[in-house]
Each structure stands twice: as structure tokens, then as C-alpha cells.
Structure 1
Amino acid sequence: MTSPAIIDFRPSHLLLNPNFDGYKLSLDPVPILKTEITAAPRRVFTSDDQYTFLHAKLFSLHNHLIHDPWLEYSCYFIDENWTVQNVRYDTTTGRLGSVKAVHKVPKPNTGRGDYNASLTFVSEKFCVFADGCGGLKIFNTGDRYRVEEWKTIFSDTILENSIPFVIQDARWEIINNVHQIQCLLLSIQQNNDNEDEKFEAVLDWIAIKRDAQSNSWSKLHVRQLKGNTLPEYCVLEPKCNGILISADRKFEFTFDNEHPIGPKEEPPKEENNGKNDQDVKKPELNWTQSDEDITIHFNIPQETNKQDIKVICDGANLQVRHKSEALLNADLFQGADKDLTTWNLGNEWLEVVLIKQVQSFTWPSLLKDVIVLPSEMPLQPIRELSLPPSNLRTEMEDCDFGDVDMDKEHSFVRMDAISHQTTHKANLGSNNPVLFTLSLRAGSPLAFALRNDVDACVWLPYVQPNAESDVTLNIKHEGTLNAFGYIQASKQQKKFMQCSPDMNYAIICEPHRHIFVYKSTYASASGLKNRNSSAKISIGQQKLITMEEDSDEVLGIVCQAETTILLTRKQVLCLQINS
């Protein structure tokens, strides 16, 4: 068993704005277009048997409005009559079109414990539909621009005992000349193996393949993963050779129809043979570096206390011990500041951070007497001058801690579909969950937003196969929402968070009354300078949209470059943000 490669979430300095000085409230009204709907969206509430936090989170945060990545300004929802409805914004006329029915789904056998229906578009002509009652369908949508009638090409019950589920992700792929749709289906099931955790999240990996001769479709239950939490981010990578997951607890493969799961490998015990700790050998660790510091990661047993760890750095030599075992005892390649050495203990990992004595110097190896190369990742180029931190940085406040459990460590991992091992991993911290996901490019995995200081950075994963069983995973910084990380932490009533694909604005939507819009630029506030340093600063624009007192709860949201579309029980609302 090899240690996973460390993923480095390193923002691009070209996409950060250190001179951003906050948002200014604009009193200019936001035009709102409204369209009445004849049948309310189908919404399912939890039953008496669905009482856990996992159920509450899955049902309450479900987005009933589905965006079509292949057709801009077009979105869909399923009404209470099991009809798929389409609503579209016309950019040429600036009007919101009427709601049009595109497909009537035969009513399934509903009952207690059902989920909300979900819909995912996998190509220009195909989409996957889950009715929330255990059934899965594939629709041939035809030309969606012309709003043609959809046709059902596959329909079946997927899981045993008709267990309901929602679609977490789906991809259209051509593998070995076979057209197939691979799906991740999320359900919450009883956990009979753990008395403390009575329910667990189950991810079923399903492949639906098309026979070229008969043009028929057949299903195959490929794999299954389980975890004691809901994934914050979960997608299949291109070619479906692995899965990318971000969560506050780990997921594990429990079933594989193609590559059976063997017994868990135990790490081999090393014999001492009379050698002392100073003997030169390549230690088992991963490390990365920036212009200022060195970050080293060790794998340690799960039940490890801080009293079991001992870290000593005298500037030239580093000693790291777990109880009586020496994880590292060797001379460093260059000097480190012994007074600024820190370490952090997580779940099955130990992180040691060294501050370089000579900054902006790239270490070719961690140790002096043995070559230990950095982990596989794009290294940040050496810069003569580091960017200053954001001028909005301040002391931590109560809102920065949110309402999450501080003992839970969030992580981002890639798990291989064949070896079932974690090949890449990043530790995100105890209070850094994925804020939201969005589609930047049709056919690509979803992008996701993470807090970075006061900002929120949008990241997009890129997976590239290297060899037969090796891949390179890069996480590219696509854009920055200035100060949005700090702002969203103070909104206790938020239900949906989203941003436009060009990241020109971000939205925080409460269930009933308020919608907050944050635009990155404000033309009326250009040319401002800092009073102390005389440096030019940039100001963003904030808008507050207040709904009517008797307005219905917002059930879904889709953000586009010019507009944001909201779905309620009686209306479809279109906020003309940039029109």
C-alpha cells in the first residue's frame, strides 16, 4: 500500500485581488421577471423513519431547478403531476419564456421513504432521471433548443428492494467502443454494523451500456462505496477510472463487480537489524513547498493522541516520533527556523510545517543525505515578491466557525476504481467544507468553491492518465469571489449559494425573504485610493433583494452570466443581474 500523493490547493496570484476593499450597497433596483406555473414542483418531505441529520440535509438542501450545461439560460423542474417542465430566458428580447412541458413521466409507485426526483444531463441529446422511488430512466431529449418531446430509451428499478436514491453524478462515455452512461446514485441506508451510527450514506456506481447491434440498454451494478456522512462534492472523473470525493469523513469501497475487493493490506513491519534511526533510508512521507515554508505529511494510526507525537527541529535536523517509532530523523537539505516549526494532528495523518531560513529558494530534496523529491503536483513558480495578504483579513470571529463540528476534518480525495485505494489526497481543515458546486464547461466535472482566507476560490479538477495504472490529478484555480468566504460565514439563514459561470457575481439565497447579490466590480466606485497608503483599491457592489412577505419558499436556483432564475411553488422568478 503506497501513500497517496498530496494535492496542493495553491491559488494563482493572478486571480487574487489584494487591493479589494469590500462591497458597497447599491440601492438600484434589480428587475424581476415572473412567470406563473400551473402545477407546483414535486417536493417530498422526510418521513418518520427519516429522522437523522443525513436525511434532513439531503431533503432540505435539494435543488429542484436543474440547469442544462449544453444550453445556456435553460433549466428544468419536475412538477407534482410528474411532468418535466422547461423554462428559458431569451437574451435577445430580455424576457422570460412561458413554462413548457417536455415529457410526461408515468407515475411510479410512491410511498413512505421516497426521495425528491433528480435530473442530470449527460450530453446534448441524453439525460438521466431518477424518480426518487427507486426507478431510473434515460431520456433521448432530441434537440433541446427546439423543445422537442422527450423519448424514454431505458427504464428500470436499479437497487434491491426498490431503495430510493438521488443522482449524485452521471457521465456519458465511450469505453472500448461501447456507449455507456455511468451514474453515481446516493441513498441513505441503515447501518447494521455500527450501533452508534444507525444510518450511512451509500454511493452505488451503476453502468448502463448500449448494445450496438440491438440498440438496447442494459444495467450493471459496478461498485459501491459507503461512508458515515454525506459527500459535499462527489463526481466521476473523465473515463470513469476513479471518483473524486470531498467530505468530513472517509468513504470506502465495499463492493466491486469487476475487480473484487480483497482483504485490507497491512503495512509490512520493518525489522531493525541493529540499525539506528540515523541510518540513511528513504522515509515514508509526502512533502510540498512554497516560497516560505515546507509542509510534510506522515501517515499514522487512527487512534493517536498528541502525547504520542514528538517533533524536534534544531534548524538543521528534524526528528519526528510516534511513541517509540522514529518516523523521521535526518538532516534537512537547507536550514529551517527552529522557533517557527509547527505540527498538526488529524485523522490518520500528521502535518509538520517548517519555515525556510532562505525564502524563495526551491529545495530539490527534503533531506540532505537522501533524495526525497516533492509529491507530484504543479509547483508554484518562484516569485521575487510575494503578494500581500488581503486587506480584509482580521481576527477570527464567531461566524468564521459556522455550525460544523470542529473535530471533523474535511478532505478531498481521489479513489481509484481498480485498486480501491486513495491515490491523491488533500486535507482541507476542520472548518473548510465545499461551499457550493457549479458547472463551468459542459462535459467537464463540476467545479467547487472553497474558502481561502476571506475569499472563496473556485477550483476545477483535471485528471490525466500517465501510465497503465497511474494518473496525475491537478486542481486548477479558475477564479476568485472576493471576500465571499468571509461574507457567507456570517449568513446563518442561507439555503443556496451559487455564482455565475464567469464568476462576475455570487448569490446567497435565504429560504423566504432575502437574496444577497455580490458583484466583483462597481463602476461608480472606480478610482478610489487607500487613505493611508494612497494605493488604488477596488470596490464591489452589493444588492439586497427583498421578497414579498407572503412569498413562497425558494426551492431551486440557477445562476447564469446575466440572470439568476429562482423556483417557488407558484412562480418562476428571473433576476436580471447584469442585463
Structure 2
Amino acid sequence: MEAANCSLRVNRELLDPKFESYKLSLDPLPCYGVDLDAAVAEVKLRDDQYTLDHMQAYGMYNYLHSNPWCSDSVFYVDQLGRIMNLAVTLDSALGKPIEVFRFPSDLSAYDRRVCSSMHFTSTNWVTLSDGTGTLYLVHIAKADHPAGKWDLRFNQELGDPFIVLHSILFVQEGVQIIDVLLLNVEKDDLDVQGSGFHVSLEWISLALPNQDECKCEILKRRKLHGKSVPHYAAIEPDGNGLMIISYKPFKFIGNEQNQAEEESMEQDEKKDHLYVWQQTADDVTLTIALPDGTTKDDIKIHFAPSHITVSLKEQKPFLKGPLYSVIDHESSTWVLKDERRVEVTLAKKNIGSMWTEVVIGDKQGEFIADPAQCAAIAEQLMHLTSEDLNPDPDVDKPPCNPQELEECDVSLEDCATLCRFDGSRLKATHVVNLGSNQFLFSLVVTPELMPCFSLRHDVDALLWQPRSAPDDNLWEHVSTFNALGYVQASKRDKKFFTCAPNSSYAALCECVRRIFIYRQPTPVDTLLYNRKEGRRVGQVAKQQVASLETNHTILGFQASNDRLFVLTTKKLFVIRVNNGS
């Protein structure tokens, strides 16, 4: 079964087409700092970790972690192998970070480890990695207190070093199960033309012990391979699926039955096509083979402006889905020929546009190019080729329009995809081609749901909440940061990007010192007018800049509704952004 091609449905009510700009505000931002007793356990990239994947996975890692169930509480791992916690109740009276857990082994003894990582699975469980290849499950005795006692309940060596991306807790047939998603960059000896590495995602299911059992048990281990580090990867709350945003696709491996099915499907596709199609500037023509003896009354074809359905009487549609482009459905026709084939003509709404496929995502058709059309195209492109090397570079030189594309808008990840994988069939069920919708950041808004992710749409930054919906409405547009997609693209030195869980502000930090805060528009008390249009301005969006008193590299960045937390090698800063309710 092919994965369904989907699209993200933007909520127009959350967009502001009249948004002008962010106004720089000089209002002070209270900033407090705490010196760390021991430096953060930063792991530098080794000489053999030279690829872009290594940099994205380990070199740009966020060493500061937040507990989504406990507001204004952050965690980090120091060089002594301790997990330290800072919980803020009063900004002006910050205490020292306190130790909540210590890894049992000496991490400094491992030469090939990666950065330690953690994820808060639920109110009572934390999933940890020490960076050496060992997975830990820790139970928090007091869920309502960030510094509650942490008890080690499970640890096991799994192989190569990895980092923890995501984890969930759910109940299945009366058994508590923790699913955890791990990432590591592995050496690929078969990749002789690429980087020589591939990215591995391992999806592990563990059963928590009940009263009669004494230890956790690994139930399943599933692996996906890809050629790029995912921007986003999360498991659905019920453990039935997995969602991934990545520049290059991922695929489950190690399942012989699935591989055999895929090979069989590929062979069937190569043997015969359901239809062949051609196109002109005005229309698209499909020729579909039919069983012998088919009559006109047996054929059911429905045209819509952007959709087509083709079926035989009392049978399921064999061609159905969204069209590549809009058609004039009233002018589109079909005719039966020889009682063995039907010819369908789709009248293009946008005359002159060329289609690359008929039904989006459908692989059953074969395109047959018109020789006369190919010759005409070749003649039109003849002026772009020459037997001589650059014979006259000044003749017919086209003018350059720098407004067509700015440098900050160029992205190497313009063809990223959002995929939803089924956990039982180990196949992709839904695919969204993100195109130019650049991935910006992810964060947890509702702890019981999957993390949200932010994408650039035109100039805005839109926040999407994934949901385990029975229909195709898997992603909900929940918030918008006006013009922030464009603004962030100009920050060439940015390192981390995030927003408040309540979407009251977004923030990004550079590699060293500077923090930029972009607030949502708020009403103003004074009377303001737009100089160009003369209309009254009722609300203003503010931009603020904070500069930290440090020259150390920023290693971690987290946001709550009221505060920003910034971690450097030897200091943890707390910036008061909102006064709270």
C-alpha cells in the first residue's frame, strides 16, 4: 500500500496579513546568573566525526533539558556525571543547582562517547543515556517536586553510543510500556560515493515490571535507516505510529517479509501500468485499459475542480485522488473506445502549465511524451547551448533581479518531508512534501501529546500540533508568529530557536551572548497611526535583545511561559520575559 500524500491545512483565522513589523523595545529584561560547581559535560566532535550529520546530531546538541510537567525546572549533566536541576520560584533568590542523579560509571573513561541525553517520559519516569551506549530508566519518587528522589530501575548496554530523542508511557493490555526513540550516526561501509555514514533510529519498547516481576523487559527493537539527521522525530502517545521530518527519507530495515512485499510490488508496477497519459498546453489525456466486454453504463467517472474518481460499476474506484493542478471539470470529458479502453480528457484551468503527474502520489500511470512537443521544446532551449565555450558572454545577457531571491531564503533542505510511519506494518502511511516550508524548531506544548513543530510558511512561522487522528487531519495549526520565518533567516549566527508553550513569545540565541525575543502583538494605550495608510494601529509586536555577560559558547536554551534559560559551560542564566499571572 502506497503512503497517502497529504498537505498541511493552514488555519486562515490565525494569520494576520496586515502585520507590519516588530518594533524594537528598550524595556529592560531582568537577567540573573548562577555559577556552576562543575562545568557542563560538553563532548567535542572527534576527528572521525566530520560529516554534517555528526554536526547536526552532536555538535549542535541542546545540553539543557526542561521537564514539561514541572514549569520553570531545567536539567543538565556536568563533567562529574551528575544530573543537576535548577528549579526557579523567585528569580532574585536563585539557589545553586542540586544533584538529582549520578551515572554509576565514570563517563570520562570513555573515549568514543557522545553527549549524555535525557527525556521526561511521564510525571514519574525519565529516560536517560550516558552517551556510551547504555540506556537508563529512572523513576521519580515525588512527581510534583522536581528534586524528588530519582531511583534507577533499569539499565542495559544496547551497542553503539546514542542520544535519546523521545519517549512515551502508555498502557497496553494492562501492562505499562515505555517506548523510546534513539539516534546514532553509524559507519556505512556500503556507501562508497556518499559520506560513508548513515543515520540510525531505533524504536525500543520496554515493559515495566508489575508486582510479581522484578525488572524491565525489552519487548521490541525496530530500526530505521536514513541519510540525514531528522529535524523532528516523535512517537505517537498510543505507541501506534512514528512521525519524522527529515531532508532525506527513512525506511525500516531488518524485516524480510516487508522487503519481499516491497520487491513484489515494485515488480508488479514494472510489469504493467494502469494507464498511459499525454499532455498539451490545453489538456491532459489518459487512456485506461478495461476488461473485455465493458459497456458505457459500467464506467463511472466523476470530475471535480481538483479531484478525479474512476471506477467500474459496483466496484471500488481504481483511480482516485487529488489532481496535480486545477481543471475545468465542466469541460472535461471521457469516451469509450473499442469496449477495451476509455479515453479521459482533462481540460487544464491554467493553460500552458505542464504537469509532472496526473493524480498526486499515484504511480500507476506511464507518461508518453509527444515527439512533436519534445522537438518544439528542444528548439526553444537551443539558445542555451553552444558548440563553443562561452562564445560571447555580453550578448543577450539577461538582467539580474536581486529581489527574486535573497541569500537568507536559500535552504539546502527545501525538499524535506513529513512522514507518518505505522508501528505494526512498519511502513509510511502519510507523507507531506514540505517544499519551501523550512523546519524551524520543536517544543512540547502539551506534555500528554506529541511535541509541536514550527515551519516557515511564506514569511510567517507556524506552529503545528501532531495528533493521533483516525482521519488524515493529523496536524493542527495552533499558533502563528507573524513574519518570524523571514526575520530568523537573517540571523546568520543563530544556534537555538524556541518559543513559550503558550506562544506568547518566540526567542532565538546566537552562538555567543546575544538573545533575541519576539513578542506577540499586544494592545497599546497610546494613540498610534500608520504613516502610509493613515489607519489607527491598535496593537504592536515588540522585539527585545538581551546580551549575556559572558564570552563562553551557549550550550543550552529552553523557554517557559515566563522565563528563558540559557546554559553556558560554567554558568546558567535566567531571563525574566513575562511577569506571569
Q: TM-score, normalised by structure 1?
A: 0.78
Conserved 8 A contact 1:526-1:539: no
| Deviation by residue 1:298-344 (Cα, 9 ceiling, x = unmatched) | 7xxxxxxxxxxxx997876679xxxxxxxx96355xx7633374656
Q: CA deviation at 1:533?
A: 4.0
1:508 paired to 2:514: no
Q: Which has the larger radius of gyration?
A: 2
Residue 216 (structure 2) aligns with: 217
Conserved 8 A contact 1:313-1:341: no
Q: For residues 194 and 522 of structure 1, do their structure 2 counterparts lie closer, same or farther at Cα, with a shift above 3 Å needed? A: same
Residue 477 (structure 2) aligns with: 477
Q: 1:186 aligns with which of 169, 183, 188?
A: 183
Q: CA deviation at 1:224?
A: 0.5
Paired residue secondary structure (1:565): strand
Conserved 8 A contact 1:278-1:330: no
Q: CA deviation at 1:149?
A: 2.4
Conserved 8 A contact 2:7-2:433: no
| Deviation by residue 1:152-183 (Cα, 9 ceiling, x = unmatched) | 0001102xxx3000011111111121111111
| Deviation by residue 1:376-398 (Cα, 9 ceiling, x = unmatched) | xxxxxxxxxxxxxxxxxx95542
* Structure 2: distance between partners of 1:51 and 1:166: 18
Conserved 8 A contact 2:5-2:361: no
Q: For residues 77 and 345 of structure 1, do their structure 2 counterparts lie closer, same or farther at Cα, with a shift above 3 Å needed? A: farther
| Deviation by residue 1:340-398 (Cα, 9 ceiling, x = unmatched) | 7465689x9599xxxxxxxxxxxxxxxxxxxxxxxxxxxxxxxxxxxxxxxxxx95542
Q: 1:424 aligns with which of 430, 433, 449?
A: 430
Residue 404 (structure 1) aligns with: 412
* Structure 2: distance between partners of 1:536 and 1:154: 62
* Structure 2: distance between partners of 1:119 and 1:172: 15
Conserved 8 A contact 1:316-1:331: no
Count of residues in correspondence between the two structures: 495
Q: 1:449 aligns with which of 446, 454, 460?
A: 454
* Structure 1: distance between partners of 2:527 and 2:128: 51
Residue 131 (structure 1) aligns with: 130
The one-letter amino acid of 2:459's match is V
1:54 paired to 2:53: yes
Residue 344 (structure 2) aligns with: 330
What percentage of aligned pairs have identical amino acids?
26
Q: For residues 340 and 30 of structure 1, do their structure 2 counterparts lie closer, same or farther at Cα, with a shift above 3 Å needed? A: farther
The one-letter amino acid of 2:21's match is G
Paired residue secondary structure (2:222): strand
- What are the residue-to-residue correspondences of 1:182-261 with 2, within 5 Å? 182-197=179-194, 198-212=196-210, 213-256=212-255
* Structure 1: distance between partners of 2:523 and 2:113: 49
* Structure 1: distance between partners of 2:31 and 2:54: 33
- What are the residue-to-residue correspondences of 1:28-47 with 2, within 5 Å? 28-47=27-46
Residue 69 (structure 2) aligns with: 70
- What are the residue-to-residue correspondences of 1:149-548 with 2, within 5 Å? 149-158=149-158, 162-197=159-194, 198-212=196-210, 213-256=212-255, 262-264=260-262, 265-266=265-266, 267-268=268-269, 269-270=271-272, 276-277=287-288, 296=322, 330-331=344-345, 337-339=349-351, 341=353, 343=355, 395-404=403-412, 409-429=415-435, 431-465=436-470, 472-524=472-524, 527-537=527-537, 538-548=539-549
Conserved 8 A contact 1:297-1:350: no
Conserved 8 A contact 1:173-1:181: yes
Q: For residues 281 and 288 of structure 1, do their structure 2 counterparts lie closer, same or farther at Cα, with a shift above 3 Å needed? A: closer
Conserved 8 A contact 2:81-2:106: no
1:574 paired to 2:547: no
Conserved 8 A contact 1:454-1:484: yes
| Deviation by residue 1:524-543 (Cα, 9 ceiling, x = unmatched) | 58653444444444431011
The one-letter amino acid of 1:87's match is L
Q: Which moved more, 1:417-426 or 1:142-151?
A: 142-151
Q: For residues 531 and 340 of structure 1, do their structure 2 counterparts lie closer, same or farther at Cα, with a shift above 3 Å needed? A: farther
Paired residue secondary structure (2:542): strand
* Structure 2: distance between partners of 1:439 and 1:141: 20
* Structure 1: distance between partners of 2:54 and 2:144: 36
Conserved 8 A contact 1:185-1:205: yes
Q: TM-score, normalised by structure 2?
A: 0.77
* Structure 2: distance between partners of 1:287 and 1:4: 20
The one-letter amino acid of 2:112's match is G
* Structure 2: distance between partners of 1:273 and 1:115: 52
* Structure 2: distance between partners of 1:118 and 1:573: 20
* Structure 2: distance between partners of 1:397 and 1:494: 21
* Structure 2: distance between partners of 1:507 and 1:123: 26
* Structure 2: distance between partners of 1:477 and 1:273: 37
Paired residue secondary structure (1:11): coil
Q: Which moved more, 1:273-282 or 1:537-546?
A: 273-282
* Structure 2: distance between partners of 1:273 and 1:31: 67
The one-letter amino acid of 2:164's match is I
* Structure 2: distance between partners of 1:123 and 1:179: 12
Q: Structure 2: any 5+ residue segments left out of the alignment?
A: 277-285, 291-298, 309-320, 334-341, 364-401
Q: Structure 1: any 5+ residue segments left out of the alignment?
A: 290-294, 299-310, 320-327, 352-393, 466-470
Conserved 8 A contact 1:200-1:229: yes
Paired residue secondary structure (1:238): coil
* Structure 2: distance between partners of 1:145 and 1:314: 61
* Structure 2: distance between partners of 1:8 and 1:525: 41
Paired residue secondary structure (1:54): helix
Paired residue secondary structure (2:485): helix
| Deviation by residue 1:252-297 (Cα, 9 ceiling, x = unmatched) | 000359x8654412244447799944975779x99679xxxxx946
Residue 119 (structure 1) aligns with: 118
| Deviation by residue 1:391-415 (Cα, 9 ceiling, x = unmatched) | xxx9554244345255xx1111111
* Structure 1: distance between partners of 2:305 and 2:87: 49
Paired residue secondary structure (1:338): coil
Conserved 8 A contact 2:562-2:576: yes
Conserved 8 A contact 2:6-2:472: no
Q: CA deviation at 1:41?
A: 1.0
Paired residue secondary structure (1:21): coil
Conserved 8 A contact 2:481-2:506: yes
